[in-house]
Structure 1
Amino acid sequence: MILNKSRNERTRKPQAFWLFFPAASLLAAITVPLSVWAVWSGTGFPAGLLGAGHGHELIFGFALALIAGYTLGPQPATVLYQLVGLWLAARVSWIFIPDTLLGQLLGPAFALLLAWHVVPRFNAAKKWRNRMVGPLILLICLLAVVFWLSAAPGIPKSSWIPDPFKLMHSAITGLLLLMTFMGGRIIAPAVAGTLEKKGIALEARVQPRIEGILIVVLGCAVFLMALPIANAVTGSLLVIGSGLITLRTLRWKLWLCPERPDLLVLGVGYLWLAVGAAAIGLALLRDTALAPALHLITIGALGVLSTSVMLRLAWQRSYRKPPAASEVFPIAAILSSSAVSRFYAGESPFAEPSLLWLSTSLWALAYLWVTARLCILGRHVRNRGK
C-alpha cells in the first residue's frame, strides 16, 4: 500500500487553479495602482499600463489567468508550469517593455496556447448552448492577437482592425457574456441543491430559453462593440440583456438561501452584470462616455464574481465546505464600493483624484486579501496531503 501511495503521489497532476488564481489576484492588486500612478505621477512608468495598457492587462492578463485556473483542471506539471511561466513572462514584458517584440508577442502566444489546451474540452457537449464556452474563450484569446495587430508599431494597419480601445470594449462585452453563461451554470445547480435540502423545489434553474436569448443578444453586442457605428442597436441589445439577467437572477430566489453566503455573493456579482450592461447600453444610446459604465463590469461584476469563485473553489478543496460569510461579504462590499467610486469619478477620473484613489485602493485591498487567503488555503491542502 505504501508503494502504491507513493506512486499515486508522483503521478498526481497539480490543479491549475492553485497556481493561476493567486497569480491572477496578485496581478490585479499590483497593476491597477501602478496604472494610476503611471499617469498621476507624470512619470509614464510603467509604460505598459498607460492608455489601453491597463485594460490589456485586466483582460488578457488577469481574466485569462482566471479562465486558465477555472477550466484547465489537473494538468501534467510540465504543461502547467510552461503555461504559468509563459503567462508570467508575458505580464512582465508587457508591463515594462511593451514596445519590444518580446513584449508584444508573449501575450498573444500565451492566449493561443491556452486556447489550444482549453477550447477542445468543451466540444463534447451536444446542445448548442453548452458548446458556447469554448468559442467564447477562443474569441477572447483571439482578441489578444487582434489587439497586438492593432497596437504594435511597424505592423501595417488595416481598415478591418478596430483601434485598441474599441477592441477593449468588445473584449469586455465578451467577458460580460462569458460571466453571464458560466455564472449561471455555477449558481443555478447550487441554489437548486440547497433548496432541495430544505424541501423547496426550484423550477427555474438554468432557464434555457433566457440563456439562449442572452447568448444571441450579448453575442451580437460583442461584435457590434468593435464597430464605429450601430451604437443604438448595440445599446438596445445591452439594455435587453440587462433585463434578462435581472429576471434570471430573481427567478433563482436566492433570498431563500441565507445560510449560503457564498451563493448570495455570487448573486450580487451576477446582478452587477445587469447593472453594468444597462449602464453601457444607456451610454451608447445617449452617446456619452463609456469608461465609467465599463468599469461597472470590470470592477463590480468581474471583481465580485472572480473573488467569489476563487474562494469558493479553494474552500471546497481545502475544507470541503463553502466559505463563511466573514470570508466573502467584506470582499464583495469592498469591490462594490470600488466600482461605485470609479463610476462616480466619471470620464476624466484624474479630475476626481480622491474618488479614483479610493476605488484603486479598495480594489487592491480586496485582491491582496484574496491572494493571502488562497496561499493559506493552498498550504493547508499541501500539509494535509503529507
Structure 2
Amino acid sequence: MSKLNTKRAPKPQAFWLFFPAASLLAAIAVPLSVWAVWSGTGWPAGLLGAGHGHELIFGFALALVAGYTLGPQPKTLLYPLFGLWLAARLSWIFLPHSLLAQLLGPAFALLLAWHVVPRFNAAKKWRNRMIAPLILLLCLLTLAFWFSTALNIPYAFWLPGPYKLMHAAITGLLLLMTFMGGRLIAPAVAGTLEKKGIALEARVQPRIEGMLIIALGGAIFLMAFPVADWITGSLLLAASGLITLRTLRWKLWLCPERPDLLVLAAGYLWLAVGALATGLALLRGTAVAPALHLITIGALGTLSTSVMLRLAWQRSHRKSPAAVEVFPIAALLSAAAISRFMAGDAPFSAPILLWLSASFWALAYLWLTVRLRILAKHAKNRRK
C-alpha cells in the first residue's frame, strides 16, 4: 500500500522551490553589491564590478526561468538541480575566483537548458519556437562569461568582454520578457474583456511580435559585437515604439478590476522605457548602464514579481492577487528603477540615490519572499 501511495504522490512544482530562492537572492545581492564598494572592504568579492550583474542575470533570472518552465518534476531531478543552483550562487558570491565557482554556474545553466529547451521545440511557426533559442542563448552566455573571465582570454571580436556579454544578456532578457510577457498578458486581457461582452481583436499581434523578434534579435548580436551604435540604438528605439503600440492595443484601461494585469502591463511598458533610454544613450554616445537598469530593475523587477505572485496565488487560492498584493511592490520597484537611473553612470557619486534604489529593491523582494512562503504553506495545507 505504501508503494502505491508513493507512486501516486504528486511531483513537486519547481516554482515553489526556485521562486522564493530567487526572490531572496535578489533581495540580498543588490544591497551587498553596493556595500562591497561603498564600505571599501570589497566583500563579498563576487558582487563587485560585473559580478552583481552576473548574479542577477545568470543566477536570479535563470532561477525564474527554471521555476516557470520546469513545472512538476521528480524529486530526484528537481532537488539536485536546485542544489546545484544554490551551490553555484554561494561559491560565486563568496569565492568568485575559485575553480568551483567558475564551473558550477555554467554547469547549472547547461543542465537547465538540457531539460527545458526541448520542451519548446514542438511549435510549427517560427515565432512560437522563439522561447527555446532565447533560453538556450542565456544559458550559453553563462558559458561565454566564464570563458571571458575565468580563462583570462583577452577581448577579441569572437569573444566580447564581460561587460559586453552583460549588455547582450540584458538585451536577450528584454526580448525574452517581451515575448513571454505578451503571451501571458494577451489571453488574460482577452478573457477578462470577453466576460464583459467586449471582443479584443488585437491579442498576440503576430506582425508586431515578429518585428520585435527581428529588431531585438539584431540588437542582442550588436550589443555583444558592436559595429555601429547608431544601428543598435535605432533597433532599440523601433522596439520601444512597437512595445508601446502593442500594449496600447490591449486596452488594459478596460480591466480596472484586474490589478495583476495592470501591474503586468506596467512591467511591459518598462520594457519600452528601458529600450528607449538605451537606444537614445547609444545614439548620443553616452553610457548605457543607467538605461539598462531601467530594464533590469523596472521591467525585470515588475514582471518577475508579478508573475511569481500571480502563479502562487492561482495555485494556492485559485484566484489572482489583489491590489494590496501587487501595487506596493510595483511602486517600490518603480522607485528603485528611477533612483538608479538618476544616480547616473557614476552611481557612487550619488550614494543617497544608490542606497535608496537598493533599499527599495530589497524591500520589494523581501516582502515577496515572505508572501511566497506563506502561499506555499497554504497550497500545501489545501492539498491535504
TM-score by length of 2: 0.98
Partner of 1:146: 144
What per-residue deviation string (whole Å, max 9, x for no partner) do you get for residues 138-163 of structure 1? 00000000000001145576541101
Tell me the amino acid that sits aligned with residue 54 of structure 1.
H
What per-residue deviation string (whole Å, max 9, x for no partner) do you get for residues 209-267 of structure 1? 00000000100000000123310000000000000000000000000000000000000
Partner of 2:5: 6
- Partner Cα distance (1:8, 1:268) in 2: 43
Partner of 1:210: 208
Structure 2 matches for 1:317-356, cutoff 5 A? Answer: 317-356=315-354
Structure 2 matches for 1:104-143, cutoff 5 A? Answer: 104-143=102-141
Shift of 1:3: 7.7
- Partner Cα distance (1:4, 1:162) in 2: 54
Tell me the amino acid that sits aligned with residue 306 of structure 1.
S
Partner of 1:22: 20
Query: Is residue 197 of structure 1 aligned with residue 200 of structure 2?
Result: no
Segments ≥4 residues shifted beyond 2 Å:
2-10, 153-159
Counterpart selection for 2:58 from 52, 57, 60: 60
Counterpart selection for 2:85 from 75, 84, 87: 87
The 3-state SS of whatever aligns with 2:253 is helix
- Contact 2:157/2:225 (8 A) holds in 1: no
- Partner Cα distance (1:213, 1:179) in 2: 15
Partner of 1:69: 67
Partner of 1:100: 98
Superposed CA RMSD: 1.3
Tell me the amino acid that sits aligned with residue 6 of structure 1.
N
What per-residue deviation string (whole Å, max 9, x for no partner) do you get for residues 328-364 of structure 1? 0000011001000000000100000000000000000
Query: Is residue 160 of structure 1 aligned with residue 178 of structure 2?
Result: no
Partner of 2:34: 36
What per-residue deviation string (whole Å, max 9, x for no partner) do you get for residues 118-143 of structure 1? 00000001111000000000000000
- Contact 1:98/1:104 (8 A) holds in 2: yes
Aligned residues: 384
- Partner Cα distance (1:268, 1:222) in 2: 23
Shift of 1:383: 1.3
Change in 2 beyond 3 A, CA 1:379/1:65: same
| Structure 2 residue runs without a partner (length 5+) | none
- Partner Cα distance (1:296, 1:78) in 2: 38
**Identical pairs, percent:** 78
- Contact 1:149/1:157 (8 A) holds in 2: no
- Contact 2:155/2:161 (8 A) holds in 1: no
- Contact 1:99/1:153 (8 A) holds in 2: no
Partner of 2:366: 368
- Partner Cα distance (2:296, 2:154) in 1: 31
The 3-state SS of whatever aligns with 1:130 is helix
Partner of 1:47: 45
Partner of 1:384: 382
The 3-state SS of whatever aligns with 1:272 is helix
TM-score by length of 1: 0.97
- Partner Cα distance (1:156, 1:232) in 2: 26
Tell me the amino acid that sits aligned with residue 163 of structure 2.
F
- Partner Cα distance (1:180, 1:292) in 2: 20
Partner of 1:263: 261
Tell me the amino acid that sits aligned with residue 24 of structure 1.
A
- Partner Cα distance (1:381, 1:285) in 2: 50
Tell me the amino acid that sits aligned with residue 170 of structure 2.
I
Tell me the amino acid that sits aligned with residue 307 of structure 2.
V
Tell me the amino acid that sits aligned with residue 72 of structure 2.
P
- Partner Cα distance (1:384, 1:306) in 2: 25
